[in-house]
Amino acid sequence: MSSTEPEIAVDDPTAPAEDSPAITSTRVVETIVYIVLLALALLLGFDNWRTGMGWEAEGPQAGYFPFYLSIVLAAASLYGLVDIFISRAASGETFVTRDQFRRVMQVFVPTFLFCLFTQWLGLYVASFILIAGFMWMVGRIALWKSIVTSLVFSLAMFVTFEIAFDVIMPKGPLEALFGF
């Protein structure tokens, strides 16, 4: 069935190796997540209790619904925690290997930095840096191609949103130089 169709063939030079050592197991991560969720539920529950979770003359107070939601969340998280300790069966499952973790960080850290840079450099300059950097370093695409693509894209976005549609995005010092 797929013999008559063109294949999309995209390469991946920095792919994680199959035999990379594991960093941690699923049980550990799930336990941590459940605990975090439990803490969140308690925090939000407290806040909603403070806002008011009773029933007024005209109906439920503002915090009513979220309060019970946080109770549901806490209960389900507790259930999950108990479930993990009871069923020791799925203990060995790897959550992430070292290589995979490296790759995920390769995306996550730049994206996080992008959000930070947007505050100071504005959206368009920050995305230019992000796209060019990502294409070059992770995708191993030639530097000139990365820069040109990124430049074209950022400019296109700028023209589309700022000029054509009048949608104001955070801008930085570079745009200020040109009077925007």
Partner 1 sequence: MEAFGLLIHGFAVLLTWKTLALMMVGLVLGVFVGVLPGLGGPNGVAILLPLTFSMDPTSAIVMLSCIYWGALFGGAITSILFNIPGEAWSVATTFDGYPMAQQGKAAEALTAAFTSSFIGSLFAVLLITFLAPGIASFALRFGPPEFFAVYLLTFCSFVGLGREAKHKTIISMALGLLLAGVGMDTVSGQLRMTFGLSELLRGINFLVAVIGLFGISEILLTMEERLALRGHAARISLRVLLNVWMDLPRYWVTLLRSSVIGAWLGITPGGAIAASFMGYNLAKRFSKDSDSFGKGRIEGVFAPETAAHASGTAALLPMLALGIPGSGTAAILLGGLMVWGLNPGPLLFVEHKDFVWGLIASMYLGNIVGLVIVLTTVPVFAAVLRVPFAAIAQ
To partner 1, the closest distance from the beta carbon of 175 in angstroms equals: 20
To partner 1, the closest distance from the beta carbon of 103 in angstroms equals: 4
Q: Which of 24, 32, 47, 94 binds partner 1 (CB under 8 A)?
A: 47
Residue count at the site for partner 1 (CB under 8 A)? 56
To partner 1, the closest distance from the beta carbon of 153 in angstroms equals: 9
**131-170 residues near partner 1, rule: CB under 8 A:** 131, 134-135, 138-139, 141, 149, 165-167
DSSP codes joined into one string, the chain? --TTS-------TTPPPTTPPEEEEHHHHHHHHHHHHHHHHHHHHHHHHHH--SEETTEE-TTHHHHHHHHHHHHHHHHHHHHHHH--GGGS-EEEEHHHHHHHHHHHHHHHHHHHHHHHHBHHHHHHHHHHHHHHHTS---HHHHHHHHHHHHHHHIIIIIIIS-----B-HHHHHTT-
To partner 1, the closest distance from the beta carbon of 12 in angstroms equals: 4
To partner 1, the closest distance from the beta carbon of 76 in angstroms equals: 5
Q: Counting contacts by CB under 8 A, is residue 2 touching partner 1?
A: yes
**Rounded distance, CA 53 to CA 63, Å?**
5
Interface positions with partner 1 (CB under 8 A): 1-2, 4-12, 15-16, 37, 40-41, 44, 47-48, 51-52, 59, 61-63, 65-66, 69-70, 72-73, 76-77, 79-80, 83, 96, 100, 103-104, 106-108, 111, 127, 130-131, 134-135, 138-139, 141, 149, 165-167
